[in-house]
Amino acid sequence: MADEILLQRVRNRAEKWLSEDYDDETRSRVQTLLDSEDLAEELADAFYRNLDFGTGGLRGVMGVGSNRMNRYTVGIATQGLVNYLLKEFSSLSEISVVVGYDCRNNSVMFAEAVADIFSANGIKTFLFSDLRPTPEVSYAVRCLGCQAGVMITASHNPKEYNGYKVYWNDGAQVVAPHDRNIFAEMNNISSIGDVNFCGKPELIYFLDEEMDDRYIGDLLALSLSPDAIERRRDIKIVYTPIHGTGVTLIPRALSALGFTNVIHVPEQDVVSGDFPTVALPNPEEAAAFEMAIKRAVETDADIVLASDPDADRVGLAVKDDDGRFVLLNGNQTLLIYLYYLIVRRKELGLLKGGEYVVKTIVSTELVKAIADRHKVKLYNCYTGFKWIAAIIREKEDKETYIGGGEESYGFLVEDFVRDKDAVSGCMLLSEIAAWAADGGRTLYRLLQDIYVEYGFSKEWGVSVIKEGRSGAEEIESMMKNYRLNGISELAGSKVVLVYDFKKLTAFDLIENETFTLDMPTTSNVLQYFSEDGTKVSVRPSGTEPKIKFYVEVRGRVDSREGLAAAELAAEKKFEAVKKSLGI
């Protein structure tokens, strides 16, 4: 009976898309879905709900339907944003926004529709004239004093996806209450006829290389080791944009920083939303690095850098002691990144007190050991760079931000951008490589030395994918089960501390005490800490159909030579942890 009610609701939703307000191609596809029993599941997935705001705004598979990315769902989101901006900034004589887009299929069309809707409603719109990295949109919002921004991107998702990220006037992704209020305005739109698609060209202004120059110029001022770069300017850096927007700025930025030997992967410099050389355009995936590493071997390069399609995430491969390239995970890159920012500032006498770094709750706890040693404050926040940006906003003019990041390959050194940034990330990682080389070390050796000095840590991410409506229900059921039944041990080590961020409650199982977690809002995340330092975090993804497990195991090593044994012990413990979790 419940399925019949849902099916009828789906059909009612779909039939509304047969009106004259929708284009012929859309109406034809919807009619096909309605007429074919074989497409019933596709029909249900396309219309069973409205595309929702997640960690990064709207994101979904492209196609017809209220639960798909298309001109109409993008239009409703934009009109909802417009309606909220007109209320929130009613005292301003002029409201302005920035619109950018990446390399994905339909990104240009979506961006132009967004610009048309903004301008149709009397809002001054700065539209990038070509694809640009996501962080440059954040930068432009702040640089131009705009009230909001929109970036059309699905980041590192498969090619079938696209997305819609909303930025507020501080250049950060929207957080409460703005995200909820925008979504409420979207829900108040009763029909697609309420969306004004008739743009006013006189209100649309194009952004081009002048904005690029300002952005790169500000990034160059962040360098802490210009002398090392000058001495090591010829280190060989292989860089791939994986068919994405990074090709527009990152090679240029590395050259401006002083590096003279940036090696391209020509096949992957080709901008394409089909991502023809990779299955997934994600620097977290080893397969995405294959062509770049092959190029690095051919050219005897020193490091390999890869950015995702919208150039906000960066992955890193380094040479081990045998000259073989190994991929670093996001936590390892974060360690190198924050270690350098802290230690190098100390070397230069720039740690005056009041400095801080930020990481997400699922990122490695080893960052705390580094920060504590050098009396730098560490703040933890939820997954998603909007939460790192929120801390930067809160601490502005009170404390000094020197860097932050997350395990999912997102890093930010500058505070004049409020989202993760692969442009500055590639620049900084190349600078660290030059600084390390100046001291006779590779980045691989640098990471080893961090482990020896501050403690060994190894992390894994496990994603269990659950597609479609039934998958979402199964993920919800898994989270309920963990809360009801709990986890008592991790690989034989007793769980001593549990954090439930949905309830903002922590349970100390040693002292049998409960205390409140100091976080800005709730989040559907569970964390377990065991006696031996193992940490497990569990959360549903806000942007993808999966439930994510983050596992970190800890250890001690006295020398580089002890790292191999520590690695083997950690891997063995990880397999045991997975059994404890039932995954």
Write out pLDDT tens, residues 529-583: 999 999 999 998 866 678 899 999 999 999 999 999 999 999 999 999 998 888 8
Q: How many CB atoms lie within 10 A of CB 542?
A: 18
Our measurement of the distance from residue 42's CA atom to the centroid of its chain's CA atoms, rounded to an integer in Å, reads 28
Enumerate residues 6+ apart whose C-beta is below 8 A from 303: 235, 236, 237, 238, 296, 316, 317, 318, 319, 429, 430, 433, 443
To the question of domain 49-207 being in CATH 3.40.120.10, the answer is yes
Residue 165 pairs in a beta bridge with 151
In this structure, what DSSP letter does residue 57 have?
B
pLDDT in tens, the chain (583 residues): 357 777 888 999 999 999 999 999 999 999 999 999 888 889 999 999 888 876 557 999 999 999 999 999 999 999 999 999 999 999 999 999 999 999 999 999 999 999 999 999 999 999 999 999 999 999 999 999 999 999 999 999 999 999 999 999 999 999 889 998 999 999 999 899 999 999 999 999 999 999 999 999 999 999 999 999 999 999 999 999 999 999 999 999 999 999 999 999 999 999 999 999 999 999 999 999 999 999 999 999 999 999 999 999 999 999 999 999 999 999 999 999 999 999 999 999 999 999 999 999 999 999 999 999 999 999 999 988 999 999 999 999 999 999 999 999 999 999 999 999 999 999 999 999 999 999 999 999 999 999 999 999 999 988 888 777 677 788 888 899 889 888 899 999 999 999 999 999 999 999 999 999 999 999 999 999 999 999 999 998 866 678 899 999 999 999 999 999 999 999 999 999 998 888 8
Amino acid (one-letter) located at 149: G
Cα 371-374-380 angle, rounded to 5 deg: 20
Q: 222 and 233 in contact (C-beta within 8 Å)?
A: no
The token pair that represents 371 in the structure block: 């920060």
Beta strand segments in 241-296, E: 262-264
Residue 535 and residue 365: Cα distance in Å, rounded?
9
Residue 339 and residue 344: Cα distance in Å, rounded?
8
Q: 215 and 139 in contact (C-beta within 8 Å)?
A: yes
Residue 30 and residue 209: Cα distance in Å, rounded?
41
Question: Rg of the Cα trace of the chain?
Answer: 24
* Of 138, 155, 363, 537, catalytic: 155
Residue 578 and residue 551: Cα distance in Å, rounded?
9
Q: Is 155 a catalytic residue?
A: yes
The domains of the chain are located at 49-207, 215-454, 456-581
Amino acid (one-letter) located at 332: Q
Residue 190 and residue 211: Cα distance in Å, rounded?
38
Residue 335 and residue 406: Cα distance in Å, rounded?
10
What is the longest distance spanned by two Cα atoms in the chain?
73
The H or E element spanning position 555 is strand 546-555
pLDDT at 383: 86
49-207 and 456-581 in the same fold: no
Q: Which fold has domain 456-581?
A: TATA-Binding Protein (3.30.310)
Q: 553 and 577 in contact (C-beta within 8 Å)?
A: yes
Cα 325 to Cα 277, 289, 316, 461, 580, distances in angstroms = 20, 10, 10, 21, 33
Peptide bond into 135 cis (omega under 30): no
Cα 161 to Cα 107, 287, 388, 546, distances in angstroms = 10, 19, 25, 15
Q: 316 and 330 in contact (C-beta within 8 Å)?
A: no
Residue 313 pairs in a beta bridge with 410
pLDDT digits (tens, 9 = 90+) for 373-404: 999 999 999 988 999 999 999 999 999 999 99
Residue 238 pairs in a beta bridge with 263, 304
Residue 162 and residue 164: Cα distance in Å, rounded?
7
Report how far apart the first and last C-alpha atoms of the chain are (Å, whole number). 33
**Closest to 365 (Cα-Cα) out of 407, 325, 402, 327:** 407
Enumerate residues 6+ apart whose C-beta is below 8 A from 110: 69, 71, 74, 101, 152, 162, 164
Residue 39 and residue 185: Cα distance in Å, rounded?
32
Cα 444 to Cα 44, 135, 323, 430, 456, distances in angstroms = 49, 28, 10, 13, 14
Our measurement of the distance from residue 316's CA atom to the centroid of its chain's CA atoms, rounded to an integer in Å, reads 16
Residue 214 and residue 224: Cα distance in Å, rounded?
19
Residue 70 and residue 74: Cα distance in Å, rounded?
6
pTM attached to this predicted model? 0.93
Place of tokens 């709207």: 58
Enumerate residues 6+ apart whose C-beta is below 8 A from 213: none
Helix/strand/coil percentages in the chain, nearest 5? 45, 25, 35
Residue 514 pairs in a beta bridge with 507
pLDDT at 1: 37
Q: Which fold has domain 215-454?
A: Alpha-D-Glucose-1,6-Bisphosphate; Chain A, domain 3 (3.40.120)
- Cβ density class 168-183: b for 16+ within 10 Å, e for less: bbbbbbbbeebbebbb
The token pair that represents 12 in the structure block: 């009612």
**Closest to 249 (Cα-Cα) out of 311, 301, 172:** 311
The H or E element spanning position 497 is strand 493-500
